[in-house]
Amino acid sequence: MKRKVTLKQIAKELDVSISTVSKALRNSKEISEDTRQKVQAFAKLYNYRPNNIALSLKNRKTKTIGIIIPEIVHHFFSKVIRGIELVANKRGYNVIVGLSNESFDKEVINMEMLANGSIDGFILSISKETLQQQDYHHFTETINQGMPIVMFDRVVDAINCDKVIVDDLEGAKKAVSKLISSGCENIGIITTRDYVSVGKLRTQGYLEALEEHKMNPKASLILKVVDQLLSEDHLDLLEKEVESLFKRNKNLDGIFAVNELYALTAMKVARKMHLRIPEDIQIIGFTDGVLSKHAVPSLTTVSQHGQKIGEKAAELLINNLEREDEEDIYETVIIETELIERESTK
């Protein structure tokens, strides 16, 4: 087993000083051609690579980005990570991942763990619990310590930082308008409670679309699902809620669901009630994941372009990190959604 070789060892072997080795390896012209060759040959032989940790300590930057997301087993978030990783790697950064598991405490702990020197900045999406408690002190503290944050998808106005979001409102409007123009007259929405900003915005988009088409919103058409943190055990509860939405609106002919799972559940319930899709009822979801694509019938959705969100977030963060002037001008980038029409709509 040959341990990693250091400058010191090379210096000792070749009987020169450490700094000579260092300079020779960095092709400094201070060093004679002769020794440079000698050093480089030796270094190559022993496969010398500078130690990242030492460099980090010296340069006071780690070239590493910390990602905090609520959940990784999730098509959208993994796409975002892929986007981040893509850009980060291209620009010489690594990516370290922390999961909050939708818990406030885990979010805080994870951030503290990483903030102590391990990373140069954060890209994160806020956990539901944090949104609920509205306690954002860990974000402000991090930013105050000079560590930049880029938030995506689930963001809050209270924090002043770069943000990458989807035009949730517009996306929802697009979806609902599509349903209307395809002939739907009684459109239900399956959404989340309002503390999830994206849910709120999508609900608002739904309402605005109705309004623009002079349709009156009815309370009975709006289902705000009681949140069980989307735990897998609560599919049954969700199904019951959706079923009651269908039952109290016998003439339902369109559904806008704010995520894939809700949309799929709607399909399931529709099937159970012997409604044909899209003949009797049309359905549109939000977030274009594998489920929508492979569902039968395949699901029309509003695609969020998760990967692009990740790429943009990484760009913003790295630009900020590498900016010379310390101006704190924060941007909010809006990624356009796209309506992907499939078989669940006419």
The site for a copy of itself (CB under 8 A) is made up of: 1-4, 47, 49-54, 56-57, 62, 64, 72-75, 78-79, 81-82, 85, 89, 94-99, 110, 112-118, 141, 144-146, 264, 268, 271, 290-291, 294-296
Nearer to a copy of itself, 59 or 216 (CB): 59
Residue placing its CB nearer to DNA in the complex, 6 or 140: 6
* CA 235 remoteness from chain centre: 24
Residue whose tokens read 């796209």: 338
- Kindly state the smallest distance separating residue 42's Cβ from a copy of itself, in Å: 17
Beta strands in the chain (DSSP E): 64-69, 94-99, 121-124, 149-152, 162-166, 187-191, 222-224, 254-257, 282-286, 300-303, 332-335, 338-340
Structure tokens at 58: 């010296």
Among 163, 118, 122, CA closest to 141: 122
Judged by beta carbon, residue 82 or residue 218, the one nearer a copy of itself is 82
CB of 283 to DNA, least distance (A): 55
Closer residue to DNA in complex, CB, 20/320: 20
Residue 96 binding result from DNA, a copy of itself, none, given CB thresholds of 5 to 8 Å by partner type: a copy of itself
Q: Which does 78 bind (CB under 5 to 8 A by kind): DNA, a copy of itself, none?
A: a copy of itself
Choose from DNA, a copy of itself, none: what does 29 bind? Cβ within 5-8 Å by kind: DNA
Least distance to a copy of itself, CB of residue 133, Å: 21
Q: Name the residue nearer to a copy of itself (CB basis): 73 or 158.
A: 73
Backbone angles phi, psi at 51, to 5 degrees: -75, 120
Minimum Å gap between C-beta 12 and DNA is 11
Q: Rounded to whole angstroms, how far apart are CA atoms 249 and 218?
A: 10
19/52 with CB nearer a copy of itself: 52
Q: What are phi and psi of 267, to 5 degrees?
A: -60, -40
**What is the rounded distance in angstroms from the CA atom of residue 135 to the CA atom of residue 121?**
20
Choosing among DNA, a copy of itself, none, which partner's interface includes residue 32 (Cβ < 5 to 8 Å by kind)? DNA
Token pair in block for residue 148: 């930049």
Query: Smallest distance, Å, CB 111 to a copy of itself?
Result: 12
Taking CB within 5 to 8 Å according to partner kind, which of DNA, a copy of itself, none is near residue 47?
a copy of itself
Classify 203 as helix, strand or coil.
helix
Q: Which has the closest alpha carbon to 334: 162, 165, 168, 150?
A: 165
Closer residue to a copy of itself, CB minimum distance, 73 or 219: 73
Residues that bind DNA (CB under 7 A): 6-8, 15-20, 22-23, 25-26, 29-36, 48-51, 54-55, 57-58, 60
Kindly state the tokens that stand for 46.
Answer: 């022993």
Radius of gyration of the chain (CA): 26
d(CA 141, CA 130): 15
